[in-house]
């Protein structure tokens, strides 16, 4: 009987130690440091806001301090930097990578086709070659687009500035996102019976001359969510203000930086939405189970100072 009691006690102690060991392993797993790489195309408000939102949402979920190691790199709009930095993130063997803007995502996916990659601040991931079917990602990438219906933005321009009969379209022809949006803008302008003129600018250094040339011969400007245009938005705003014409950009941050009004998204919120997808990946989900998402919210944003500078009839939406 005594031996039996000793055997029971020993067994119970062994089970207890085993459970304690399992608990330690579980705690160790939950506190594992995750590695995340972030590649941002260029310094401009929308992209930076998306990154800040992404990092804030991760921290809110507990991925901060020793629990996360983030390798953030910014290509400053340089193609050679994109390749070098993409190769660096690929060699890091991160748990998840984030690419902010289309060229960054294309470069990173070219360098690393295995590591789960999220993208944000991208208008059309399909035409960019990042996914074949946004509803069923078939490569290593998924994320959140920043596409807002271009037709609704053109309608807002037409309704708010009814005297604008000729609209200037300016963009970087080297950005697939911009080409896609400008095509949609032209189609809607034609449907409304409005004329348009086009100028392109490949770099921020080209923007002022293109904007000045265009602004003199049009009644309003429409800009896609173009990284070159966004980076040069203060310059475009000054040109438009001098000509007393409105600027309707595709991104809400572009309104803050010199635009007049738009139906757009909050890029910090876009980054937070993307981070929620990252958390799912870190918890075991696979890219193929996470369809590409659209912005959760669209809002009308306006710049009061720029509105006052417009010398046309202004009919603000209710």
Tens of pLDDT, residues 213-257: 999 999 999 999 999 999 999 999 999 999 999 999 999 999 999
Report the SS3 class of residue 12: helix
Query: What's the pLDDT at 273?
Result: 98
Q: Which domains does the chain have, with CATH numbers?
A: 33-146+266-285 (3.40.50.2300), 150-264+300-309 (3.40.50.2300)
CA distances from 93 to 65, 82, 234, 313 (A): 20, 17, 39, 56
Query: What's the pLDDT at 31?
Result: 66
Query: What's the pLDDT at 5?
Result: 45
Give the whole-number percent of the chain exceeding pLDDT 70.
Answer: 90
- Residue of 307, 171, 176 whose CA lies nearest to 245: 307
- Segment 86-105 shows an average pLDDT of 97
Query: What's the pLDDT at 24?
Result: 40
- Segment 92-111 shows an average pLDDT of 97
Query: What's the pLDDT at 30?
Result: 53
pLDDT per residue over 31-75, tens digit each?
A: 689 999 999 999 989 999 999 999 999 999 999 999 999 999 999
> What is the C-alpha to C-alpha distance for residues 172 and 179, in angstroms, rounded to an integer?
8
Query: pLDDT class for 1, splitting at 50, 70, 90?
Result: very low
pTM passes above 0.95: no
Q: Which helix (H) or strand (E) holds 222?
A: strand 220-223
Q: Are 218 and 166 in contact (CB under 8 A)?
A: yes
Query: pLDDT class for 317, splitting at 50, 70, 90?
Result: confident
Query: What's the pLDDT at 72?
Result: 98
105-114 per-residue burial string, b: 16 or more CB within 10 A, e: under 16: bbbbbebbee
Average pLDDT, the chain: 91
What count of other Cβ atoms lies within 10 Å of the Cβ of residue 33?
A: 11
């Amino acid at each position: 009987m005594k031996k039996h009691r000793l055997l029971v006690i020993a067994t119970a102690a062994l089970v207890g130690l085993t459970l304690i060991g399992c608990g330690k392993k579980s705690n160790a797993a939950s506190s594992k440091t995750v590695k995340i790489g972030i590649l941002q195309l260029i310094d401009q408000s929308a992209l930076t806001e998306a990154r800040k939102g992404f990092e804030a949402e991760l921290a809110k979920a507990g991925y901060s301090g020793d629990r996360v190691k983030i390798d953030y790199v910014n290509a400053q709009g340089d193609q050679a930097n994109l390749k070098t930095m993409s190769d660096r993130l690929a060699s890091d063997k991160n748990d998840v990578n984030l690419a902010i803007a289309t060229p960054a995502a294309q470069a990173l996916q070219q360098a690393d086709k295995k590591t789960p990659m999220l993208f944000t601040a991208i208008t059309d991931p399909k035409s960019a070659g990042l996914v074949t079917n946004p509803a069923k990602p078939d490569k290593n990438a998924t994320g959140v687009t920043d596409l807002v219906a271009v037709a609704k933005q053109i309608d807002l321009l037409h309704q708010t500035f009814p005297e604008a009969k000729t609209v200037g379209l300016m963009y970087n022809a080297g950005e697939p996102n911009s080409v896609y949006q400008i095509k949609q803008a032209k189609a809607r302008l034609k449907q409304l019976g409005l004329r348009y003129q086009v100028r392109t600018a490949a770099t921020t250094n080209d923007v002022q001359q293109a904007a000045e040339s265009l602004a003199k011969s049009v009644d309003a400007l429409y800009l896609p969510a173009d990284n070159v245009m966004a980076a040069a938005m203060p310059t475009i705003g000054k040109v438009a203000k001098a000509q007393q014409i409105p600027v309707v950009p595709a991104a809400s941050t572009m309104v803050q930086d010199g635009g007049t009004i738009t139906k757009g998204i909050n890029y910090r919120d876009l980054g937070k939405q993307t981070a929620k997808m990252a958390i799912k990946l870190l918890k075991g989900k696979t890219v193929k189970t996470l369809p590409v998402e659209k912005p959760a919210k669209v809002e009308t944003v306006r710049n009061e100072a720029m509105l006052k500078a417009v010398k046309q009839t202004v009919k603000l939406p209710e």
